[in-house]
Amino acid sequence: MKQRKRNRVFISLLLVFFALSPLYAAKKNPFARPAFLSQAKAQQKATEEKKPETTLANISLTGIINGSIAIINHQFYRKGQKIGILTIEEISANKVVLESRGLRYDLILNLSKIKKKE
């Protein structure tokens, strides 16, 4: 009988130990990201940094909508958005002003390709 009681106490202590061990092992910040997620994010940032910089040579102003939305390389942009390292500073009726590293560049809408219907 004593042996049986000792076994129960031993099993109870083991159960308590195994139940509480994850709590003691996780004394780190419980809200911290797991290591594999932070490594994936670091790899993603590294690949983003390796992307070629956007240059003026491969940017074309396709259109402007209501003087507030610019269509550049067939994508829609508003004032303040970035295209690579270039920031859209101003959008007017026929031009877009881009800024990068203190230099300003004008993209002028070329209307000569558009034919007017008479």
Domains parsed from the chain with CATH numbers = 56-113 (2.30.30.830)
Q: Tell me which residue has tokens 């008479």.
A: 118
Integer Cα distance of 13 and 10 in angstroms: 5
pTM of the model: 0.49
Per the document, the length of the chain is 118
Q: What digits encode the pLDDT tens for the residues 23-32?
A: 555 556 667 6
Q: With bands split at pLDDT 50, 70 and 90, how would you rate the model's confidence at 84?
A: confident
pLDDT of res. 30: 65
Is residue 111 pLDDT above 80, yes or no?
no
Helices vs strands, H then E, count in the chain: 2, 7
Name, in order, each residue with C-beta under 8 angstroms of 95's C-beta and a sequence gap of 6 or more.
61, 106, 107, 108, 109
Q: Are strands 75-78 and 82-83 parallel, antiparallel or unpaired?
A: unpaired
Element (H, E) at 37: helix 35-50
Mean pLDDT of the chain: 75
Q: With bands split at pLDDT 50, 70 and 90, how would you rate the model's confidence at 6?
A: confident
- Could you give the percent of the chain with pLDDT greater than 90? 18
How is residue 110 annotated by DSSP? -
Q: What digits encode the pLDDT tens for the residues 11-67?
A: 887 777 666 655 555 556 667 666 666 666 666 666 555 555 566 667 888 889 988
